[in-house]
């Protein structure tokens, strides 16, 4: 067994000070670990216009955005469970106060302090459990961190829970990151059950607690497209879609938008106890193709309604299968025309709109911006693409012709470029000085060779 040698140290040494911090201190001082960057960054994304979508970089504050989304996500999870039909969001004129209300069944009112002030508390830990149909649960939340982290980093956080089963309601007000708590007495309620949260984020934690109205509206519209049938409202504007993400594709480009496919992939696996369980992954893919565009491809994607801004495994796999299928389809034409097709010939002007709903998605971090590989997801994507790609290519002969034309154009350009380069090289070549002909008396007998 090897050992390390001693170090000769001069003078006295000081021990490291070992400290324990409570979760309030930790989340407020290490907010980036939970919600991502606490600085304003440039994000390449899109915003909604009245009659379309505009792709452009926006000033984006990841941590503030995520803090609000955690409360919205809780309402979406209740929708997944079949308990919610409406989610209402209000941003007050001060642009700081946000209220999110759903009409779900709520939860036991004695659990309110735990849910909103303690980490690792929630109903999202059923990774291995199944619903009444025998399928693994699918949720946005997974770690029991989000809502509590939002509350602990808020100056004001007011939660009113109207619990359907007990027919009781109660309001808790958590002040200055829950350093102070006020509550009403439980009482019977009338009208819809559900949860309502009003919050003002902490200026101390987030540096600036003003909420970007356009980006909050965008997030709510995104959620509406991802959850067809669920009604959202934002400051009185109502959003309700029937065809979901296909309608988003139509909003991007009504002329070329088409549904590539929409289906469920069902697989069998085992839980931690060795019991066989079923998983279901729902896929949706729509495609827009702008023939006039020279832009590189765009990818709008969501996993369990969460935007995967940084892409990940699903982006890479779908694009690679799509590219390979197109190249294979036009291989004979490419050989005949003596051209090669590259990835950009296939992807230029394409916009993919993709939605995946699955059990236990794995992301790189709590911010959920990048999806990592999962074996069942990989099988599902390959099955989904193979089931739909041939039908798509048969319907889009004009697009295939465009890909060939792009490759031809690129080859012609390369040939001209090569010819121009050769011409420049020839001009630079030194030519030996011409020698006069020997026949000086009769110049008609002379011949000049060049």
- Supply the CATH number for residue 66's domain: 3.30.565.10
CA distance 67 to 402: 45
Of 280, 270, 408, 289, give the one whose Cα is nearest residue 337. Answer: 408
Q: Specify the pLDDT at position 124.
A: 46
- Supply the CATH number for residue 355's domain: 3.30.230.10
Instruction: Identify the domain boundary among 180, 207, 239.
Output: 239
Q: Specify the pLDDT at position 205.
A: 95
Of 33, 143, 150, 27, give the one whose Cα is nearest residue 77. Answer: 143
Q: Specify the pLDDT at position 39.
A: 93
Q: Looking only at Cα atoms, what is the longest distance across the chain?
A: 128
Asked whether residue 5 is assigned to any structural domain, the reply reads no
Q: Specify the pLDDT at position 270.
A: 78
* 217 lies in the same domain as 325: no
Q: Specify the pLDDT at position 375.
A: 92
176: left (phi over 0), alpha (psi -120 to 50) or beta: left
Please, how many CA atoms are within 13 Å of residue 342, restricted to the half-sphere of its CB?
9
* 197 lies in the same domain as 84: yes
* 37 lies in the same domain as 121: yes
Q: Is 333 exposed, middle or buried (0-12, 13-18, 19+ CB in 10 A)?
A: middle
* 331 lies in the same domain as 390: yes
Of 248, 197, 238, 243, give the one whose Cα is nearest residue 217. Answer: 238
* 133 lies in the same domain as 175: yes
* 58 lies in the same domain as 196: yes
Structure tokens at 26: 């930790």
Q: Specify the pLDDT at position 157.
A: 97
Instruction: Identify the domain boundary among 239, 272, 295.
Output: 239
* 65 lies in the same domain as 185: yes
CA distance 126 to 137: 7
How many structural domains are present in the chain?
2
Q: Specify the pLDDT at position 399.
A: 94
pLDDT tens for each residue of the chain, 450 residues long: 668 888 888 888 887 776 667 788 889 998 998 898 999 999 999 999 988 999 999 999 999 999 999 999 999 989 988 899 999 999 999 999 999 999 999 999 999 999 999 886 555 444 456 666 777 877 765 445 789 999 999 999 999 999 999 999 999 999 999 999 999 999 999 999 999 999 999 999 998 999 999 999 999 999 999 999 999 999 999 999 999 999 999 999 999 999 999 999 999 987 767 788 899 999 999 999 998 888 899 999 999 999 999 999 999 999 999 999 999 999 999 899 888 899 999 999 999 999 999 988 888 877 788 899 989 999 999 999 999 999 999 999 999 999 999 999 888 866 665 566 666 665 656 555 555 556 666 666 666 655
CB atoms within 10 A of CB 44: 11
Q: Specify the pLDDT at position 143.
A: 45
Q: What is the DSSP letter of 130?
A: B
Q: Specify the pLDDT at position 127.
A: 47
**195 and 26 Cβ atoms separated by less than 8 Å:** no
Model confidence, pTM = 0.84
Asked whether residue 272 is assigned to any structural domain, the reply reads yes
Q: Specify the pLDDT at position 129.
A: 64
Instruction: Identify the domain boundary among 412, 429, 444.
Output: 412
CA distance 405 to 154: 56
The continuous run of DSSP H or E covering 205 comes out as: helix 203-206
Which residues form the domain of 109? Answer: 27-239
């Amino acid at each position: 067994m090897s050992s390390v040698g001693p170090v000769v140290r001069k003078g006295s040494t000081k021990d490291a000070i070992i400290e324990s911090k409570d979760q309030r201190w930790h989340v407020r001082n290490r907010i980036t670990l939970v919600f991502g960057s606490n600085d304003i960054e440039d994000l390449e994304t899109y915003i909604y216009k009245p009659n379309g979508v505009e792709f452009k970089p926006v000033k984006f504050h990841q941590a503030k955005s995520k803090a609000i989304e955690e409360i919205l996500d809780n309402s979406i999870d209740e929708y997944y469970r079949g308990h919610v039909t409406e989610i209402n969001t209000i941003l007050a004129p001060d642009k700081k106060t946000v209220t999110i209300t759903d009409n779900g069944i709520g939860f036991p009112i004695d659990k309110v302090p735990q849910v909103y002030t303690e980490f690792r508390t929630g109903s999202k830990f059923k990774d291995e459990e199944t619903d009444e149909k025998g399928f693994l649960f699918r949720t946005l939340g997974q770690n029991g961190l989000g809502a509590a982290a939002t509350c602990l980093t808020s100056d004001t956080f007011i939660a009113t829970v109207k619990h359907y089963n007990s027919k009781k309601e109660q309001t808790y007000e958590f002040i200055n990151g829950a350093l102070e708590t006020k509550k009403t007495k439980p009482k019977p309620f009338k009208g819809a059950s559900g949860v309502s949260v009003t919050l003002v984020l902490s200026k101390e934690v987030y540096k600036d607690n003003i909420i970007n109205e356009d980006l909050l509206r965008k997030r709510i519209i995104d959620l509406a497209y991802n959850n067809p049938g669920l009604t959202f409202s934002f400051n009185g504007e109502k959003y309700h879609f029937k065809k979901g993400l296909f309608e988003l594709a139509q909003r991007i480009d009504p002329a070329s938008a088409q549904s590539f496919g929409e289906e469920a992939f069902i697989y069998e696996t085992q839980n931690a106890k060795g019991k066989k369980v079923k998983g279901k992954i729902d896929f949706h893919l729509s495609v827009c193709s702008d023939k006039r565009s020279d832009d590189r491809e765009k990818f709008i994607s969501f996993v369990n309604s969460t935007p995967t801004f940084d892409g990940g495994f699903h982006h890479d796999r779908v694009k690679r299968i799509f590219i390979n299928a197109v190249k294979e389809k036009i291989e004979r034409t490419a050989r005949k025309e003596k051209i090669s097709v590259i990835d950009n010939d296939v992807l230029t002007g394409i916009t993919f709109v993709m939605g995946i709903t699955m059990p236990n998605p794995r992301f790189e971090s709590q911010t959920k911006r990048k999806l990592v590989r999962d074996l069942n997801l990989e099988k599902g994507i390959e099955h989904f693409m193979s089931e739909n790609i041939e039908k798509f290519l048969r319907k889009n002969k004009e697009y295939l012709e465009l890909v060939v034309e792009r490759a031809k154009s690129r080859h012609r350009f390369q040939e001209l470029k090569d010819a121009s380069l050769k011409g420049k090289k020839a001009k630079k070549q030194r030519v030996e000085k011409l020698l006069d002909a020997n026949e000086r008396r009769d110049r008609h007998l002379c011949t000049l060779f060049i």
